[in-house]
Structure 1
Amino acid sequence: MSHSAFKIGVDGGGTKTELILVDATSTVVARHLAPGCNPSQTGPDQAREILRAGLQALLAAYPVSGLPPSVSALHLYMAGSPLFWREVADSLTGYGPVVTGPDSLPVLELATAGAPGLVLHAGTGSFVAARAPGGSVHYAGGLGWKLGDAGSGFDLGRRAIAYALLELQARSATETRPLSPLTAALQAHTGLPDYATHSRFFYNDPAANATISAFAPRVLELAEHDCGPAQQVVADSVTDLARLADQVIHRLFPADPQPSRAGISYPPPLPCGVSGRILNSVPAGFALRSLVAKLRWPVTLTFITAAPSEGVRRLLGKL
């Protein structure tokens, strides 16, 4: 096989960066996993270094002795500033043409395989991505924790902690009535006893944001075991993400104003992918299905369990 047939794809998110090397048949022949490289979280210098080191490690992992493979193309699908990643791409040499795009494109590819449709993603962050009937790609959400990432791990943790702090705030020093399971879980998560100590921690400790996001799996676990407050937190967070998706659907896929006539079938439903560890959980999936029915979306839900790197591989295969 010609060494020029190799291509590299990168899925760079806030939690991890996955790099794959594929051959001319789109088979993954080497893979490397690195830390998250969102420049908004790591800083631009660290993000750039994570990518640089990851590319070197990927080529070194190619399981054939001799010189590393010659790469004919590099695709970067990255979280964070598109302008930053374009500047990084322009500085890279030896990889052939370097294409950049948002980290939403691989999961959109998994959801629609290039056809019109959309995907809802919620993991570390969240977004809605859609491909319109004309082929244009649209992105909504993903504003980050400061400005709102409905459905994300941070959003779940933030909402749950707010509920628990209100319960602790209203509790008198002598009250002996048991706390809700959600508030008790927060105390176990932080090791802090009351409202005042929690408030100081979340507003002053540098580790507060990570602690908020890390509470999300426990919230999902409680919701799955019939904890009412946790279920409400999940429903509220997913509802806000669904509202965003509803706006995208109505803007890009407006309903046909003409009623169907006898003998003419309705257009097929749109593919709608559901991606990320949050939305693929039982309580979040239940909430989303209920909202889809209530809002009457013209979609077929597909819960995506494949890694985003599989979407990267498929995009590389279209070169």
Structure 2
Amino acid sequence: MSFKIGVDGGGTKTELILVDASGAIVARQLAAGCNPSQLGPEKAREILETALREITTKAEGGVTHTLLCMAGNRSFWKETADALSGSDFGAVSAVDDSRPVLELATDGAPGLVLHAGTGSFIAARAPDNSVHYAGGLGWKLGDPGSGFDLGRRAIAVALLELQAAMWSKNIALSPLANALCAHTGIADYTNNSRYFYNDAAANAQIAAFAPRVLELAAHDCGAAQQVVADSITDFARQADAVIQRLFPNQTTRVPCGVSGRILNSEPAAFVLRSLANKLKWPVVLQFIETAPIEGVRRLLAKV
């Protein structure tokens, strides 16, 4: 028998599947995240190669092809795929991590997918079958709608409240500001600010605050709801630019997948639906809860 390997590599985790000639999954494996933008190229490659070698031991008959669907610098992953080709992993190719969720959203037809998890991006397949990508600049330069963006905006709002409380003891803190203090274990503005600027673990803590922000927004915390609305609105502006460019004067609606734990949350989904109606997007929103690795499996079937 011959086998293929599919990889969904992101910042949080790296998921691998081994499929047989019929496309059935015969083995799965999880490894740490391998985004080179977060870990550096050497560590990212080491995590990937180690995981590949481990799952290859379960391929009794050899691997003919490996498909890498990876977050981070596409040139780096293209070079990595070229270096690995011809080894125990068969012919190796690399695509953006947007391709599996685009496959889940449109099944190869024209349309697009909006994704927001730890990071965010927009991927689209135009009527001429060309594939386009927007956003995904990373936490330093943007990614509105992402976990990091939600966390960053919410922390800024909470810090301003804590700052004001330094000068007036009569200020009642919002649930968002209290949640930040609970999240960091720090009760005042000065030390919270120092933590986020000086602690090496602070970046991870910023993104980790996003689920709490969404929870507060779902329970009518006005400050959290405004943070979600602002972040998703900026993301929708990016999506609107893609839609206007690729689907101008569209008379029939195209599928628009909505992927990732942020956009599939109730507060974010409410904002996105409202904006889609207001902007008159020629799309049908389809909220996707299927894991991206299933999109990887579908892409492997086409290799």
TM-score by length of 1: 0.92
Rounded Cα–Cα distance in structure 1 between residues aligned with 2:205 and 2:92: 36
Equivalent positions of 1:148-159 (< 5 A) are: 148-159=142-153
Partner of 1:50: 47
Partner of 2:239: 245
Q: Is the 8 A contact 1:159 1:233 kept in 2?
A: yes
- The percent of aligned pairs where both chains have the same amino acid is 68
Instruction: Give CA deviations for 1:173-192 in whole Å, capped at 9, x if unaligned.
Output: 55144310000000111111
Partner of 1:317: 301
Partner of 2:112: 118
Amino acid at match of 1:36: G
Instruction: Give CA deviations for 1:161-208 in whole Å, capped at 9, x if unaligned.
Output: 000111111124551443100000001111112111111111111111
Rounded Cα–Cα distance in structure 2 between residues aligned with 1:302 and 1:61: 36
Residue 249 (structure 2) pairs with residue 255 (structure 1):
yes
Partner of 2:83: 91
Unmatched 5+ residue regions in structure 2? none
Instruction: Give CA deviations for 1:27-81 in whole Å, capped at 9, x if unaligned.
Output: 111110111100011111111111111112212345xxxxx33111111110111
Residue of structure 1 aligned with 2:276, choices 281, 287, 292? 292
Rounded Cα–Cα distance in structure 1 between residues aligned with 2:134 and 2:40: 23
Unmatched 5+ residue regions in structure 1? 63-67, 257-266
Rounded Cα–Cα distance in structure 2 between residues aligned with 1:20 and 1:191: 39
> Number of residues paired by the alignment?
301
Rounded Cα–Cα distance in structure 2 between residues aligned with 1:278 and 1:60: 36
TM-score by length of 2: 0.97
C-alpha displacement of 1:95: 2.2
Equivalent positions of 1:1-319 (< 5 A) are: 3-4=1-2, 6-61=3-58, 68-92=60-84, 93-173=87-167, 175-255=169-249, 267-319=251-303
Question: SS of the counterpart of 1:149?
Answer: coil
Q: Is the 8 A contact 2:253 2:284 kept in 1?
A: yes
Q: After TM superposition, which residue ranges in structure 1, 4 or more long, deviate above 2 angstroms?
A: 59-62
Question: SS of the counterpart of 2:239?
Answer: helix
Q: Is the 8 A contact 1:12 1:78 kept in 2?
A: yes
Question: SS of the counterpart of 1:86?
Answer: helix
Question: SS of the counterpart of 2:165?
Answer: coil
Q: Is the 8 A contact 1:59 1:69 kept in 2?
A: no
Rounded Cα–Cα distance in structure 1 between residues aligned with 2:188 and 2:61: 58
C-alpha displacement of 1:96: 2.1
Rounded Cα–Cα distance in structure 1 between residues aligned with 2:172 and 2:232: 28
CA RMSD of aligned residues (A): 1.2
